[in-house]
Structure 1
């Protein structure tokens, strides 16, 4: 694949713009043969002509030549000084953050000393002592700006050094220099690139300012600051003289900032996708809205992709689900199977790096209207979240803001969607805390999250999710971080809320724990490698599974439920292998490399989701209707 095809699309425009503004000044001999320092007094302030496209300045010198050659000086000083400051400052910050001790002291104290001096005053002092000139400017600007890089790289490297993957590298015995350069540095490249753009722009400005004061580039050599200084006296009768260098400065600074902002996004894998500005989601075919009256939400043929220069990588493919009122649908599967992404798509909360490339998502509002989520704007989606669809996240320890009282967070959620006074919102919040089984709700309302146990915090999250009486409640592994006793209480609470809910609450329950799923689910959808491989009534899927992956999950899960034991016996078995990465999924059936009954046909074609005869049960397997093959 050619270099051009692999070049990130979002970098094309800023790269071309920056390249043009850099190349054009250095191509000055090819653009004009005029001498930038040649004086022609009789042609002072002459208007643009065929010989002088931008006219002539106060000494009759060609303005086009001066702005081009002046750009060479400004760009060279800015980029050389900024690059030196970036390399030195980033190394100082990395070493100080990772090795700490005396390295940290030298980094922070040296940066503090330089930062004590105002930049322009320090520049004036150094230039006055050592005389004006390009070399002096590069030196002083490098010294001025390296502390900013050092402080940013230090703080970011300090944060990254505390993360688990750095500890894992240390545990593997990776040399410190490799951890610093190969692990920490790539993770701080985004903030450093933004600082580079700000510094380069500031360096150009200071160079022009010093030249304007006569302390920068030595006349008669051209520079943008000198052009502004000379044109200032004649700006009333010849405004073009001051406009031209100012426009050159503005365009250059904009191009640098534009390029570095896009570079930051490209260097960050989490934001490398098209995100919210991606190609619009394919519109629905209209059938998605023609749903049964008890349908609360529907996903049809959902496809999610990660845009990459070499081609989009699918992470979710052909996922279809129907969520009904007073029904709990469970999504089960190993980590990375696509369970949480499917639910986030329903909430309109997909990460920026992932885009919806196909399929439809529809939701029934409390008014009874079925809406196509792909056709709603950000404000409309905000109106849906919390009001028509709500979500309980996995970690009750971190889902609540630790610096705000529980009641304040609940009231904020209520007032975001319901028109009532704060006293009415408080009364509703306390009533909901009582509903979810929290003792002393008034005291807990005025307490902080850290004053509650994990189970109580999860109950608070459920209460917050119910503040606006949504039609759909998404529970993303809500019992994972809780002990077994609290898990049972949360499951019992969700069961009771579902049956007592006046408007018919629909639950989408995401879990990898089949024991919990057996207690709460009416229907089960098993996901593997971004696809639904089996879907049907919970009793059938859990007691008579037809897909090899579902069987493997059941055999690997301990359970106290008699029906599950009868399906798999008492011995636990591990599922061989690991799920494939999205970009490395095999041809045909994604599970074939781990499947005990796979054949050549499984590699040749991808099996569709087939409905079993006489049953409300679908399986994505070539041999789902071949009992002899399944038993082999």
Structure 2
């Protein structure tokens, strides 16, 4: 309660002082530079409500006109510095590399000088004046904004909601100013209050020294300078400008804190009524699954680390047909998520690259004939600038943690309409109607009301449905789901799996499902791609993988899953694959699974095994697969 009272008082004072400064020329105030030496140090009266100064000038009038100078210099300088500094910090933090060096290193030169010393030197060389002081203060405080924006951008640029915006095909400026900037606005707003306060104090200090606002203009610093010699005879003349200065600085800080809290949607939680209806997915005619929609061939992805370059993917190959679900399974670090990011070209900037292989994507795969085939585009060779034509519109992606991939400062409706308008020309009203339709399509109850909710106001399952709806806004033909059920409870997992399966069947889209949960794989997948250490070790239909696995790693994964059958042996212990995934910088020779394989022989440590065909649609990377 006390916090709100002080904030309201600060807001009222700041509004009053700003209004006084703006209206000072039209208010019935005496001329601030008109002197009356016969009334020097006059006491408060009806003619001079706060008395008069050492030259008989009206104190209230000089405070009002002094506020114009002090606040104008401070706010204009803070805004100019903020615009330049935030832009430099966002660009440097998001792009890194040479943009970071060009944006941030010159600012380090400015930071190496004490602000007051640099201000004194510059004003002494150029000369005092309001315009000079404003530009000087703006230059002085650009680095402070830039460093705050740079640090905050570094902390959020790899968050899932930023990657989701890239996956939707948004341009870099749109991501910077519509996705990243709102999430770093809180610290920048706090920095704005600090800069305004510092500018007011610096302006007053320089004016006090005779290097800021020049007479006969009025300034709080000039008033303090004039009243200081007479502080023992007439202390009130020193009190009024000091009081205006202190209260203004305090009010600016309190109001900026209030705005920061007000613009943070997570600071308030609204009561959510129990939904009355539940909507289902809208059915569409299924597409014939004939030709390959996605054909990944010998994909090699490299990541640069301080200890050297690692091959996160080494010769990965698999394909997806329209209406087919292909599951990528394996332990953490096996390369599942990296495969999805490589297809979308969402690899870490500057340190990640596709070093070899092909990612063939056919736009019209559903219309291919068995004899013909549609023209395919190699996404591994598509420039980043042109990948926007594929992200979101052709290929959608659902990330693992919905709370992380949804932007926390925007409503669900805003994020959906933004995704829709990124791919189609439509009005705001049309986009909102489509957004409501998309929520209804993924089974969100009462979608019209949910459009106004923030992500933190939804349950985990509903957030994941919203993430799926955003991924489907561009009507993609291929959907990559990166462990979309990991953070959800079992009941909600089942609902999301049913939803994805229904969407896949009714719309005929291809689905790449990344998971480590073999129970989920058995329920949703048509084909399974088992990965280990960046390689595919087994690829085949789900029945073959579960009932006729040929690779020891696949057999170990299946044996580690609990079985709940009627005749199951209750005393059977779960199998645990011994050892750990090897360091990608120090891979074992030959088969990479050899150190952990109980069936390994000396030949396994010689040459790396190649993929061999078990049946027409079943392949395995093991020299002893026939024995299993």
Tell me which interval the TM-score lies in, with the shorter structure as reference length. Answer: 0.5 to 0.7
**Structure 2: distance between partners of 1:124 and 1:492:** 70
2:487 to 476, 481, 484: 481
Mapping 1:107-118, distance limit 5 Å:
117-118=116-117
Displacement after TM superposition at 1:378 (Å) = 2.0
Q: How does 1:273-422 map to 2 (within 5 A)?
A: 293-307=290-304, 312-352=309-349, 353-365=351-363, 369-422=375-428
Corresponding residue for residue 551 of structure 1: 555
Aligned runs of 1:9-20 on 2, under 5 Å?
none
Q: How far is the alpha carbon of 1:441 from its aligned partner?
A: 0.2
Query: Quick one: distance in 2 between partners of 1:312 and 1:482?
Result: 35
**Number of corresponding residues:** 361
Distance 1:470 1:154 in 2: 34
* Mapped pair 1:524 → 2:524: no
Pairwise CA distance, 1:492: 0.6
- TM-aligned CA deviation for residue 379 of structure 1: 2.6
> Which runs of structure 2 are paired with 1:191-270 in the superposition (5 Å)?
none
Does the C-alpha gap of structure 1 residues 424 and 561 become closer, same or farther in structure 2, counting only changes over 3 Å?
Answer: farther
Query: Which residue of structure 2 lines up, in the alignment, with residue 16 of structure 1?
Result: none
Quote how far apart the aligned CAs of 1:356 are.
1.3
User: In the aligned structure 2, how far is the partner of 1:444 from the partner of 1:154?
Assistant: 34
Whether 1:511 and 2:510 are equivalent positions in the alignment is no
Moved more, 453-462 or 418-427: 418-427
Deviations 1:267-318 (A, max 9, x none): xxxxxxxxxxxxxxxxxxxxxxxxx952111100111123479874322111
CA distance in 2, matches of 1:121, 1:452: 55
Q: Distance in 2 between matches of 1:591 and 1:620?
A: 10
Q: Secondary structure at the match of 1:534?
A: strand
Partner residue in 1 for 2:430: 424
Residue aligned with 1:306, SS: strand
CA distance in 2, matches of 1:561, 1:419: 54
| Cα 1:313–1:485 shift into 2, 3 Å | same
Summarize deviations over 1:303-351 as a string: whole Å, max 9, x none.
Answer: 1123479874322111101101111000000001000111111111122
Cα distance, 1:154–1:388 mapped onto 2, change above 3 Å: closer
Paired with 2:347 and 2:545, the residues of 1 have a C-alpha distance of 29
SS at match of 1:411: helix
Kept in 2: contact 1:438–1:456 (CA 8 A): yes
Q: What is the distance in 2 between the residues matched to 1:153 and 1:380?
A: 28
Matched with 2:192 is: none
Q: Distance in 1 between matches of 2:150 and 2:528?
A: 49
Mapped to 2, the partners of 1:124 and 1:464 lie a distance apart of 54
Residue pairs, 1:91-110, within 5 angstroms: none
The 2-side partners of 1:533 and 1:561 are apart by 28
- Partner SS for 1:340: helix
CA distance in structure 2 between the aligned counterparts of 1:508 and 1:590, rounded to whole angstroms: 25
Distance 2:339 2:481 in 1: 12
The change in CA–CA distance for 1:442 and 1:304 in structure 2 (over 3 A counts) is same
Show structure 1 runs of 4+ deviating over 3 A: 122-125, 151-156, 307-312, 366-369, 559-563
Contact 1:329–1:523, Cα closer than 8 Å, also in 2: yes
How far apart are the structure 2 equivalents of 1:523 and 1:430? 34
1:625 aligns with 2:622: no
Distance 1:446 1:557 in 2: 42
Give deviations 1:150-192, integer Å, cap 9, x for gaps.
x889989x989xxxxxxxxxxxxxxxxxxxxxxxxxxxxxxxx
Residues 497 and 559 (structure 1 numbering): CA distance in 2 closer, same or farther, change over 3 Å?
A: farther
| Counterpart contact for 2:314–2:535, Cα < 8 Å | yes
1:461-610 map, 5 Å: 461-501=467-507, 504-560=508-564, 570-610=572-612
User: Shift of residue 569 of structure 1?
Assistant: 9.3
Mapped partners of 1:573, 1:464: distance in 2: 40
Partner SS state of residue 584, structure 1: coil
Does the aligned pair in 1 maintain the 2:334–2:531 contact within 8 Å?
yes
Which deviates further from its counterpart, 363-372 or 554-563? 554-563
When residues 462 and 354 of structure 1 are mapped into structure 2, their CA distance, relative to the original with a 3 A threshold, is: same
CA distance change for structure 1 residues 409 and 119 in 2, over 3 Å: closer, same or farther?
Answer: same
The answer as to 2:414 corresponding to 1:435 is no
**1 CA distance for matches of 2:380 and 2:515?**
26
Q: Is the 8 A contact 1:402 1:450 kept in 2?
A: yes
TM-score by length of 2: 0.53
**1:523-571 alpha-carbon deviations (Å, 9 max, x no partner):** 00100000000110011101221111111111222254789x79x9943
Deviation per CA, 1:237-268: give whole Å up to 9, x if none.
Answer: xxxxxxxxxxxxxxxxxxxxxxxxxxxxxxxx
Shift of 1:395: 0.2
Q: Secondary structure at the match of 1:625?
A: helix
Distance in 1 (CA, whole Å) between partners of 2:565 and 2:294 is 31
Q: Distance in 1 between matches of 2:409 and 2:483?
A: 25
TM-score (norm 1): 0.53
Gaps spanning 5+ residues in structure 1: where? 1-111, 126-143, 161-291
Give structure 2 stretches of 5+ with no counterpart: 1-110, 125-139, 157-288, 366-373
CA contact (8 A) 1:366 1:388 kept: no
Assess, with a 3 A threshold, how the Cα gap between structure 1 residues 442 and 310 changes in structure 2: closer, same or farther: closer
Q: Distance in 2 between matches of 1:590 and 1:597?
A: 13
* 1:100-132 Cα deviation digits (max 9, x unpaired): xxxxxxxxxxxx9x956252426999xxxxxxx
Contact 1:366/1:471, CA 8 A, preserved across alignment: no
Asked whether the equivalents of residues 534 and 619 of structure 1 are also in contact (C-alpha less than 8 Å), the reply is yes
- Does structure 2 conserve the Cα–Cα contact (< 8 Å) formed by 1:524 and 1:538? yes
